[in-house]
Amino acid sequence: IKWTEGRGWHDAELVPYAPLSMDPANMTLHYAQTIFEGLKAYKQPDGTVATFRPRANAERFQASARRMAMPELPAELFIEACDALIKQDSAWVPDSGEASLYLRPFMFASEVGLGVRPANEFLFMVIASPAGAYFPGGVKPVSVWLSEEYVRAVKGGTGAAKTGGNYAASLVAQAQAASHGCDQVVWLDAVEHRWIEEMGGMNLYFVYGDRIVTPELTGSLLPGITRDSLLTIARDLGYTAEEGRITTEDWKRDNENGTLTEVFACGTAAVITPVGSVKSERANWTQGDGEPGEVTMKLRKALLDLQTGRTADTHGWMHPLG
């Protein structure tokens, strides 16, 4: 779907996957006015296909657009575009289990020009790709690197938007994590470098017995849809679920004194991933016994059961294809 200043959204079309041709002076290539989303379509037990909370993705896409001086795509158009693509590709929606069809809606400036200003032309597209189970061999805890050198986002910056630049800025820290033998980066706040924000592509939860806590939305972390869903699902299961503030010192101390029983990350791609070990320039510890925790696995099952239609959708989160 195209957007042009003065004309709005126009020319929606469904076309076979193919390379785009671009002018070398395309504004996106230079100034990165680009946003995206990620969501999944799951096969349901009756053979139909449903997406999980697409309206939440559509609304986050609008918030990202506002931050990046881009036009807001109406939520109905966003959902319709995803539905049209899934219908076209329904043969690719995997049959069962945790496998899904991953959808990547995105928008970028399609205008040509070298002046730095908001573009007047944009292109919104959706591509799809079948995604297997994230942990085909069973859930495996990840090791994380606390990034004290780099920051992902600052107050007033673009941290709460799903824009390409945030991910570009994170790559050097991801490479640093890998060089220390860690799977993922954990980002800290930009001012004191001690408040836990989020992981490279997932939000974090801290489990204190039957109380689970996720870092509050400070404006510099992404408001994850999985994160939001788990606040509700955890309460449904009888846990206390809340937003709070946790420092790296809290994490280390509460793990040592045994009050912090589990830590997990959550996001569309992996749903829920246990955190098994933590490293930084100054510290190195095993989270709990390093194995997937009971609460983590219970929440993971509850969310996946809902997404795959094995339990009732009591919150109206599943969007069936018409």
Site residues (vs ligand PMP, CB under 6 A): 38, 198, 201-203, 222, 224-227, 267-268
Residue 135 tokens read as 């942990």
* Nearer to ligand PMP among residue 43 and residue 227 (C-beta): 227
CB of residue 200 to ligand PMP, shortest distance in Å: 6
Distance CA 250, CA 319 (A): 39
* Nearer to ligand PMP among residue 267 and residue 293 (C-beta): 267
* Nearer to ligand PMP among residue 147 and residue 203 (C-beta): 203
CB of residue 181 to ligand PMP, shortest distance in Å: 22
* Nearer to ligand PMP among residue 201 and residue 274 (C-beta): 201
CB of residue 152 to ligand PMP, shortest distance in Å: 7
> CB within 8 A of 97, min separation 6: which ones?
133, 308
* Nearer to ligand PMP among residue 122 and residue 187 (C-beta): 187
* Nearer to ligand PMP among residue 207 and residue 271 (C-beta): 271
CB of residue 115 to ligand PMP, shortest distance in Å: 30
Closest CB to ligand PMP: residue number:
224
Burial of 119 (0-12, 13-18, 19+ CB in 10 A): buried
Q: How far apart, in Å, are the Cα atoms of 99 and each of 135, 136, 271, 301, 303?
A: 10, 10, 11, 14, 14
CB of residue 91 to ligand PMP, shortest distance in Å: 25
What is the sign of the dihedral through the CA atoms of 71, 62, 132 and 293?
Answer: positive
Phi-psi label, residue 155: left if phi above 0, alpha if psi -120 to 50, beta otherwise:
beta
- DSSP per residue over 68-106, as a string? TT-PPPPHHHHHHHHHHHHHHTGGGS--STT-EEEEEEE
CA dihedral 15, 20, 22, 28 (to 10 degrees): 90
CB of residue 56 to ligand PMP, shortest distance in Å: 8
DSSP run (H or E) holding 250: helix 248-256
